[in-house]
Amino acid sequence: MAAQNKGPGGKQPTINDVAALAGVSKKTVSRVINRSEFLTDKTRAAVEKAIEQLGFVPNPQARALAFRRNFLIALLHDNPNAQTVLNFQRGVLDAIKDSDLALLVRPVDRGSDKMLDDVRTFLEKQRPIGAMLLPPISENDDLAALCEDLGVRYVRIGSARIDDAKRCISSNDREVVAEAVRGLVALGHRRIGFVRGPVGFRSAAEREEGFREALAEAGLDLPPELYAPGNYRYTAGIEAGEALLSLAAPPTAVFCSNDEMAAGLMSVAHGKGIKVPGELSIIGFDDSPTATHIWPALSTVRWPIREMGIRAAQTLVPDFLGPGAKAAGDESNVLASTFVERQSVAAPPGR
């Protein structure tokens, strides 16, 4: 609390001031700051009192220079979904709130062939303690190898275990998608369409697998005309809607690999006068704000992205977080997605 040096021109107290006030050497003060053992309680108390009195805060720049490491966590992302990134950020920030760490955000351009060089330069410059890789770039093994190489710890966020548990936070998307689709089957749906995510995205593959799993269990198959490609964008949902809903025998339900595409598909349904959910049930994925903003509200899979941010921080820098961070519990680092029922699902017509 106490902080005496707050005047405009007031210089920050340095470690030397503390040492002088406490009557010890700066090295001793440094030991106290870094929680070294081998210290008399008396000495420690004296130093801490001096620190308190002066309102001393160690200069991170100086520490960074000496440590050859900045007290930063880098968040690398190239995610089209703003909400996801921001929620994740928020989780991380929740977790590091009381630590000395700060968060550096860095969008990277996957696609660019200079990406690796860019990231390398960035990491060499900023020298963060660790890096967090958000999907889809978390799936890039070269990036992970680069971090390893530069001595930067990392965690990868993904829809599936793409690295060992200590370096990967994931959720059980596949299972939950399967669960959601089983629900459709239970309601009596037999013609169920699928709108896929972009090729090359692990998340898209996971969702598709979950979908197919549930269909297979029910002995249903997925005719090619009910399978639409997509890229997680609203417009892809529109296109999928045009295709699927113009069929002679349209599906009575569609699983869309994310909420935006679901919104696109739904607007096509509205345009064609198809009643949702009466004539067409729709399920999305993400539980983004869009899911509740459209009408009728979308049944979707909630991805615990903020919790993943917290867990990512706990996994990445447990030694920098205050005590209690060890209470992370489940060490598998697989968090639970959940199916959220809203108003876009009902029994198919004629049941």
Partner DNA sequence: GTTTTTATGGTAACCGGTGTCAAGAGGTGT
Partner DNA sequence: ACACCTCTTGACACCGGTTACCATAAAAAC
Q: Name which of 69 and 182 has its Cβ closer to its own copies.
A: 69
Does the protein bind its own copies through residue 315 (CB under 8 A)?
A: no
Nearest alpha carbon to residue 105 among 83, 81, 145, 134? 134
Does the protein bind DNA through residue 319 (CB under 7 A)?
A: no
Of 31-39, 274-282, 293-301, 327-335: span binding DNA (CB under 7 A)? 31-39
Other CB atoms within a 10 A radius of the CB of residue 36 amount to 12
Q: Please, what is the minimum distance in Å from the beta carbon of residue 143 to DNA?
A: 25
Q: Please, what is the minimum distance in Å from the beta carbon of residue 65 to DNA?
A: 4
Other CB atoms within a 10 A radius of the CB of residue 299 amount to 24
**Are the C-beta atoms of residues 39 and 32 closer than 8 Å to each other?**
yes
Does the protein bind DNA through residue 8 (CB under 7 A)?
A: no
Other CB atoms within a 10 A radius of the CB of residue 35 amount to 8
Q: Please, what is the minimum distance in Å from the beta carbon of residue 118 to its own copies?
A: 9
Are β-strands 70-77 and 102-107 bridged in parallel, bridged antiparallel, or unpaired?
Answer: parallel
Selected binder of DNA within 62, 82, 102, 145 (CB under 7 A): 62
Other CB atoms within a 10 A radius of the CB of residue 3 amount to 13
Nearest-angstrom CA–CA distance, 133 and 351 = 46
Nearest alpha carbon to residue 82 among 128, 133, 134, 157? 134
- Residues ≥6 apart with Cβ < 8 Å to 299: 180, 281, 282, 283, 284, 339, 340, 341, 342, 343, 344, 345
Of 105-113, 158-166, 176-184, 329-337: span binding its own copies (CB under 8 A)? 105-113
Q: Please, what is the minimum distance in Å from the beta carbon of residue 181 to its own copies?
A: 23
Selected binder of its own copies within 105, 186, 199, 247 (CB under 8 A): 105
Q: Please, what is the minimum distance in Å from the beta carbon of residue 41 to DNA?
A: 8
Q: Name which of 206 and 286 has its Cβ closer to its own copies.
A: 286
Nearest-angstrom CA–CA distance, 53 and 126 = 32
Question: For its own copies, what does the binding mask look like between residues 182 and 221, x meaning CB under 8 A?
Answer: ----------------------------------------
Q: Please, what is the minimum distance in Å from the beta carbon of residue 270 to its own copies?
A: 4
Of 28-36, 178-186, 258-266, 281-289: span binding DNA (CB under 7 A)? 28-36
Q: Name which of 51 and 245 has its Cβ closer to DNA.
A: 51
Nearest-angstrom CA–CA distance, 159 and 173 = 6
The contact set with DNA (CB under 7 A) reads: 11-12, 14-16, 23-31, 33-34, 37-40, 42-43, 56-59, 61-63, 65-68
